[in-house]
Amino acid sequence: MISQFTPDSALNAIAAPRVGSPRTSPVRDAAFNAALAVVAAALPKGAQAAITAVGEVHTLADALWAEVRATPAFALGTGRAACGKGCGWCCHQRVGATAAEVLYVADELRKRPDAEALTARLDAWPTGRACAFLVEGACAIYEIRPLKCRGLYQMDARWCMTTYAKLDIPLFGPPPSHEYQIPPKDVFDGAVFGMALPFYRAGRDCPGVDFIPALKAVIHRPDAVQTWWRGEKVFPAETRLHDWFPPMNQPPQSTK
C-alpha cells in the first residue's frame, strides 16, 4: 500500500486554517521553506547526503524555535512550560516520524558509544509501551530525537500524565489543564512537511511511520539507506501511519 501523503495534501495541511483559529502561521511557513531548501539541495548528491540533510533540518528547526522563543512576544507573553528533563509522560504515546528521519536516526545511533545498550533497549521494546529511549524520565537520544518530539510545550504535566500515560486524574489540586503553546509545534511540524516534500517530489518513498517499530526494522541493517534509495522495501507495511500525512489541523491528542 502506498502512502496517502501527496504534495497537494501536504500543502493543504500547511495552509488549512486551524479549527477555531483562522490565523496563518509565519513560523510554520519559515520552517517548512527552510527544511525544503536543505533537503532539495541535498537530494541530487545521493542517498547519504539526503539522509544527512535530515540532521541539518533538526538543527535549523531547533535554531528557529530558539529564535521564536527568545522574542519578547513569546518570552513575555507566555508562561513557563512544565516540560523538562525527568518529565516524560508524553513519551508514552505513539511517535510519528518520516521514513527519512528514521533512517537518519538509525545511522546516528549506530555511531554512538552507547549504541549497543540503546539497540538492546530497542530490541527488547514491548509493543505499545513507553518509548524505548525513555530512561528514568529522560530521552536517551535527545540530540537525535524526531522532530515530533521537539514541539511540545504543555503548561501542566498532569494533563500529559493522564492523557498520554493514561494514569488516574490526581485527587488533589485543580483539574489538569490542556493549555499549551502552538509556536513550537508550528516550527517542528513545518519542518516535518518541508523535509518530506522534496523526497516525495523526487519519487522517494518517504511516508510517516511509527518511530520505534520502524527504527527496530532498520537498526540492524547498515545497508538500509541504500536499499531504500534503490526503491526496495525496508519498512514493514504495519509501521506506516496512514493517518499521519495530513491532517495537521486536528487537535494533537493521540500522536506526537
- Nearer Cβ to ligand SF4 (8/136): 136
Residue of 60, 61, 100, 160 that binds ligand SF4 (CB under 6 A): 160
> What cell was used for 10?
501536504
Q: How far apart are CA 208 and CA 242, in angstroms?
A: 7
Q: How far apart are CA 50 and CA 107, in angstroms?
A: 12
Residues 6+ apart with CB under 8 A from 140: 114, 118, 121, 133, 134
SS3 186: helix
91 in contact with ligand SF4 (CB under 6 A): yes
Return the number of other C-beta atoms located less than 10 Å from residue 253's C-beta: 9
5 in contact with ligand SF4 (CB under 6 A): no
141 in contact with ligand SF4 (CB under 6 A): yes
SS3 189: helix
Q: Which stretch binds ligand SF4 (CB under 6 A): 27-35, 44-52, 130-138, 236-244?
A: 130-138
Q: Tell me how far, at minimum, the Cβ of 44 lies from ligand SF4, in Å.
A: 30
182 in contact with ligand SF4 (CB under 6 A): no
99 in contact with ligand SF4 (CB under 6 A): no
Which spans of this chain sit near ligand SF4 (rule: CB under 6 A)?
A: 82-83, 87-91, 95, 131, 133-134, 139, 141, 145, 149, 152, 154, 157, 160
